[in-house]
Chains A and B, each alone.
Chain A
Amino acid sequence: MSTAKKLSLKENYALLTRGLGWEPSYQPKEEIFRTTRFEGIKIHDWDKWEDPFRLTMDAYWKYQGEKDKKLYAILDAFAQNNGQFNVSDVRYIQALKIFLTGISPLEYASHRGFCILGREFEGVGPRIAAQMQAIDELRHAQTQIHALSPYNRYFEGMSDFTHQADRVWYLSIPKSFFDDALSGGPFEYITAISFAFEYVLTNLVFMPWMSGAAYNGDMSTVSFGFSAQSDEARHMTLGIEVIKFLLEQDPDNVPIVQKWIDKWFWRGYRLLSLLAAMMDYMLPKRVMSWSEAWEVYFEKNGGALFDDLARYGIRMPKYADVTVKEKGHVGHQLWATFYQFRHAVGFPVWLPSEEEMDWLSERYPDTFDKFYRPRLEHWRELEKQGKPFVNTTLPQLCQVCQWPLLFTEPDDPTTICVREESYLGEKFHCCSDGCRDIFRDEPEKYVHAHLPVSQIYQGNYFLPDADPSAPGFNPLVEALRYMGIQPGVDGGDFAGHADAVNWERWTGRPASMHEPMQTAAPAPDRKTA
């Protein structure tokens, strides 16, 4: 009887995968793969691609199946045991609303983006890697929704997340980020998402959310996080493999890739400012400050990475120095923005307690007490006087990242940074040199942006049943309805909010662990169970 030759893992994988593709002869190759040439990236040999992970489908199904069995057992137990009431306090759950409306839709968008790459790339290896990431992202979108589903049954502002993702003004920040990637060509997309987002910046997204969940007793979300770790590890290896592949294929690729690294580092950084607010202001039990996170995960790790890429001719991204200057400011500026616009957002907003401000002083010794404590104390005093500060006028948005122009000059935190560009006779404004450079490079693309503030003023943000002639017609209230935000219910002050009132009634614990129980009875128009 004969015996079969023993194959190494690498040999086995190569045999099962590498030879699957072929050179077409009945149709022109340029008609089969139509989008891999226009970006100017030169690929001479797709077979030089090194598979970052060698997972055959049987192994994929096995490992992922096992993980999902465990995860869903936990999710079922969580739902059965009302795990949503075990978190530190109901302010933590406000962060979950940002997650469900702002992050989960991006997981789905990422899935679609990798589906496109899985088709449009030419080599077998890169296509399989893209397809596996595509299906992983689908997993993340779905498991996140399933993990957060129990919260939706009890708390406001999560229920209409799909509708909100497409319409809420501040959600155009994450949405435009991914639309920008999806509308780019395949090589830009993979540089943007696999490298800049999944490799350089991923820990800044993943770690705060998942650690925040662990610290605050959210077994559902933290289980999702643990379960997604090995997927993310694969995604990171893809990111670093991609960048090396592109840079090694042709020296002409280097300046194009550098341009994309600059752009996507900056867009990714602006998107992550959302996390600065979350980490510094929203987690009842804080993990670390944004400033610390940026130091560890970008300045140290990123520094080492770009030292390594220097041999290809790649340098540190433009404006990395600005991110370092901003790290002591960004979270505070953002929370101040959410606070004053709290009646127009999908979650309630609060001012930090004394204890929390002391934490912020300690973590931000150079900036908090000087620039931000006075503001918060001023607003707290106005609240005590029954004259809480609100801003009822819509802000100017950045044409590129779509944040309000709330960021300050890198060297002067008392002056708002505004950059103006002209294009085809019209003016456009950006929040920073970083966004301005992005606009300058592709103005034809960014003029098409759907800026929510402009859309409101154009009268486009009304549901079909909005009647301007009706008495008491309020255009901003109607705009909130269009966006899927329940006016007077979802946002506003944390004190007296339906979530706070319900939480205290259901759990017997304070809505904010840093404050005493709220004693205010619910207002008649609040939704309570």
Chain B
Amino acid sequence: MTVEIRTQSIKPVRQTFAHLARRFGDKPSSRYQEATYNLQSEVNRHYKPLWDPDRDIYDRRRTAVVMADWYALKDPRNHYYATWTAARSKAQEALDTQMQFAEQRGLLRELPEAARDAIVFALVPLRHYEWGANTNGCHISAYAWGTAVSQAASMATMDRLGMAQHLSRIGLLADGNSGESLARAKQAWMAHPAWQGVRREVETMFVTRDWFELLVAQALVADALVYALFYGHFDRAFARQHGPALAALLDFLVKWQDETARWVDACVKTAAAESAENRALITGWVMRWRAAWLTALRPLADATMGADGAAALDAVDAALGQRLAKLGIAG
């Protein structure tokens, strides 16, 4: 038996906004739909950008990918601002518990020097990789066409900052807040031969103008390889030697990547399926960046995982290949 409440109900004149009714019919819309569709201005521009006179402020031509409707790249996670902050703060709460525990018990600080050195060399420099990814995500959010892709990229951009800060915290957990780990990690990023391939590719992405290409290069190819390599293989190798303390702190990154990959995959799959031209374009980008990143990561895989490095890299590359096949990309 249910308990009834009588309320005064007045029949609404309409169920939703006109632009949503034109797409989906006059029925109640989700908050994601209300927050996303058609927010970006599309026509009747007033001024040419002083910073790019050949294009408009918002311009479809900032990518070679062509979509009849860029809102087809809607976010399968249905993230708008409020659901995004809710998801992130929930994950962060769980992480904070782990971080506090690690700090109080000195779980990283008390590791043997070789273990701490491994963290500082292999993981902490990835805070710069994340800052690079923040830069690239921001480029996508700035120049993509349509609210759907731009806002997801904007949230992903802030996520990268969060990941960068998290990796910095891991360094501070290892060095007892002296900051020494961060300085050494930066030194490795800037000068150690094993890291230069990666830094070179990151800087190449900084001068890549096509925002969809950047999505492919950063969020599909590079992240798939880097995350699986370090937060999968390296983490497991580390745990075999030094115990699980680190794994508990890296889970946050792994879960975040899994969630974000759903959005990336939806964008790439939808765009590739739209036309043969898009598919060819995306495939070309995938092939180029995959080759570049494999070359860049090889010395790093060797330096951080020794004899197991090459096999680890092959394994993550194979996994990427399987993922690409599901997206309809033979890259």
Q: A and B bound?
A: yes
Residues of A within 8 A of B (CB): 1-7, 15-17, 19-22, 24-27, 31-32, 34-35, 38, 56-58, 60-62, 64-66, 68-69, 71-72, 80-82, 85, 105, 108-109, 111-112, 115-116, 118-120, 124, 127-128, 131-132, 134-135, 138-139, 141-143, 145-146, 149, 152-156, 158-163, 165-167, 172, 175-176, 179-180, 182-186, 188, 445-446, 448-450, 455, 484, 502, 506, 527-529
Residues of B within 8 A of A (CB): 7-8, 10-19, 21, 31, 34-35, 37-51, 57-58, 80-82, 85-86, 88-90, 92-93, 95-96, 103, 106, 109-110, 127-128, 130-131, 134-135, 138-139, 141-143, 147, 150-151, 154-155, 157-159, 161-162, 164-166, 168-169, 172-173, 176-179, 182-183, 186, 189-190, 199-200, 203-204, 206-207
**A38 and B50 contacting across the interface, CB-CB below 8 Å:** yes
**B38 and A57 contacting across the interface, CB-CB below 8 Å:** no
Nearest A residue to B15, CB-CB: A153
- Chain A residue numbers with a CB within 8 Å of B48 are 183, 445, 448
**B165 and A27 contacting across the interface, CB-CB below 8 Å:** no
B111 → chain A, closest Cβ, in Å? 11
Please judge, given known A-B contacts A179-B57, A529-B10, whether A145 and B35 are in contact too, CB under 8 Å.
Answer: yes
Q: How far is the CA of A18 from the CA of B50 in the complex (A)?
A: 30
Nearest B residue to A67, CB-CB: B85
**B128 and A153 contacting across the interface, CB-CB below 8 Å:** no
**A179 and B203 contacting across the interface, CB-CB below 8 Å:** no
Query: What are 28 pairs between A and B in contact, CB < 8 Å?
Result: A1-B106, A2-B110, A4-B109, A4-B176, A6-B177, A7-B172, A15-B179, A19-B186, A68-B85, A108-B39, A115-B154, A118-B138, A118-B142, A119-B138, A131-B157, A132-B158, A138-B81, A139-B81, A142-B82, A153-B14, A160-B17, A161-B17, A162-B39, A176-B46, A179-B47, A179-B57, A184-B51, A445-B50
Given contacts A35-B51, A85-B10, A142-B80, 18 further A-B pairs with CB under 8 A are: A1-B106, A2-B106, A7-B172, A15-B168, A22-B190, A57-B165, A60-B85, A68-B85, A72-B82, A108-B39, A111-B154, A118-B142, A159-B21, A162-B37, A167-B44, A175-B41, A185-B50, A484-B18
Please pick, from B12, B17, B40, B49, the residue contacting A108 in the complex, using a CB distance under 8 A: B40
- Chain A residue numbers with a CB within 8 Å of B168 are 15-16, 20
**B12 and A154 contacting across the interface, CB-CB below 8 Å:** yes
Q: How far is the CA of A162 from the CA of B36 in the complex (A)?
A: 11
- Chain A residue numbers with a CB within 8 Å of B190 are 22, 25
Nearest B residue to A186, CB-CB: B51
**A68 and B86 contacting across the interface, CB-CB below 8 Å:** yes
Q: How far is the CA of A163 from the CA of B37 in the complex (A)?
A: 11
**A166 and B39 contacting across the interface, CB-CB below 8 Å:** no
Please judge, given known A-B contacts A145-B34, A506-B10, A529-B12, whether A105 and B41 are in contact too, CB under 8 Å.
Answer: yes
- Chain A residue numbers with a CB within 8 Å of B51 are 34-35, 38, 120, 183-186
Q: How far is the CA of A331 from the CA of B203 in the complex (A)?
A: 53
- Chain A residue numbers with a CB within 8 Å of B131 are 20-21, 124
- Chain A residue numbers with a CB within 8 Å of B8 are 82
**A131 and B14 contacting across the interface, CB-CB below 8 Å:** no
**B158 and A448 contacting across the interface, CB-CB below 8 Å:** no
Please judge, given known A-B contacts A35-B51, A61-B85, A61-B162, whether A5 and B96 are in contact too, CB under 8 Å.
Answer: no
Q: How far is the CA of A35 from the CA of B47 in the complex (A)?
A: 17
- Chain A residue numbers with a CB within 8 Å of B200 are 26
Please pick, from B38, B42, B142, B151, the residue contacting A116 in the complex, using a CB distance under 8 A: B142
**A2 and B176 contacting across the interface, CB-CB below 8 Å:** yes
**B203 and A27 contacting across the interface, CB-CB below 8 Å:** yes
**A112 and B142 contacting across the interface, CB-CB below 8 Å:** yes
- Chain A residue numbers with a CB within 8 Å of B7 are 80-82
- Chain B residue numbers with a CB within 8 Å of A82 are 7-8, 10
- Chain A residue numbers with a CB within 8 Å of B46 are 172, 175-176, 179-180, 183, 448-450
Q: How far is the CA of A34 from the CA of B90 in the complex (A)?
A: 38
Nearest B residue to A7, CB-CB: B177
**B164 and A119 contacting across the interface, CB-CB below 8 Å:** no
Q: How far is the CA of A65 from the CA of B85 in the complex (A)?
A: 5
**B162 and A57 contacting across the interface, CB-CB below 8 Å:** yes
**B14 and A152 contacting across the interface, CB-CB below 8 Å:** yes
**A180 and B176 contacting across the interface, CB-CB below 8 Å:** no
Please judge, given known A-B contacts A16-B165, A65-B89, A115-B138, whether A183 and B47 are in contact too, CB under 8 Å.
Answer: yes
**A152 and B89 contacting across the interface, CB-CB below 8 Å:** no
**A16 and B169 contacting across the interface, CB-CB below 8 Å:** yes
- Chain B residue numbers with a CB within 8 Å of A159 are 14, 17-18, 21
Q: How far is the CA of A441 from the CA of B181 in the complex (A)?
A: 52
Question: A111, A124, A446, A506: which has the most chain B beta carbons within 10 Å?
Answer: A111
Q: How far is the CA of A292 from the CA of B88 in the complex (A)?
A: 43
Q: How far is the CA of A137 from the CA of B37 in the complex (A)?
A: 16
B204 → chain A, closest Cβ, in Å? 7
B12 → chain A, closest Cβ, in Å? 4
- Chain A residue numbers with a CB within 8 Å of B15 are 153
A357 → chain B, closest Cβ, in Å? 32
Q: How far is the CA of A448 from the CA of B130 in the complex (A)?
A: 40
**B13 and A527 contacting across the interface, CB-CB below 8 Å:** yes
Q: How far is the CA of A158 from the CA of B127 in the complex (A)?
A: 45
- Chain B residue numbers with a CB within 8 Å of A35 are 51
Please pick, from A20, A109, A180, the residue contacting B164 in the complex, using a CB distance under 8 A: A20
Q: How far is the CA of A188 from the CA of B47 in the complex (A)?
A: 15
**A146 and B12 contacting across the interface, CB-CB below 8 Å:** no
**A32 and B203 contacting across the interface, CB-CB below 8 Å:** yes
- Chain B residue numbers with a CB within 8 Å of A141 are 35, 39
Please judge, given known A-B contacts A27-B206, A143-B82, A184-B50, whether A166 and B177 are in contact too, CB under 8 Å.
Answer: no
Question: A5, A449, A528: which has the most chain B beta carbons within 10 Å?
Answer: A5
**B35 and A115 contacting across the interface, CB-CB below 8 Å:** no
A414 → chain B, closest Cβ, in Å? 32
Q: Which 10 A-B pairs have the closest CB atoms?
A: A57-B162, A65-B89, A153-B12, A160-B18, A162-B38, A142-B35, A20-B131, A5-B177, A119-B138, A68-B82
B48 → chain A, closest Cβ, in Å? 6
A323 → chain B, closest Cβ, in Å? 24
Please pick, from B11, B18, B34, the residue contacting A149 in the complex, using a CB distance under 8 A: B34
- Chain A residue numbers with a CB within 8 Å of B138 are 115, 118-119, 127, 131
A147 → chain B, closest Cβ, in Å? 11
**B89 and A61 contacting across the interface, CB-CB below 8 Å:** yes
**B13 and A153 contacting across the interface, CB-CB below 8 Å:** yes
**B50 and A183 contacting across the interface, CB-CB below 8 Å:** yes
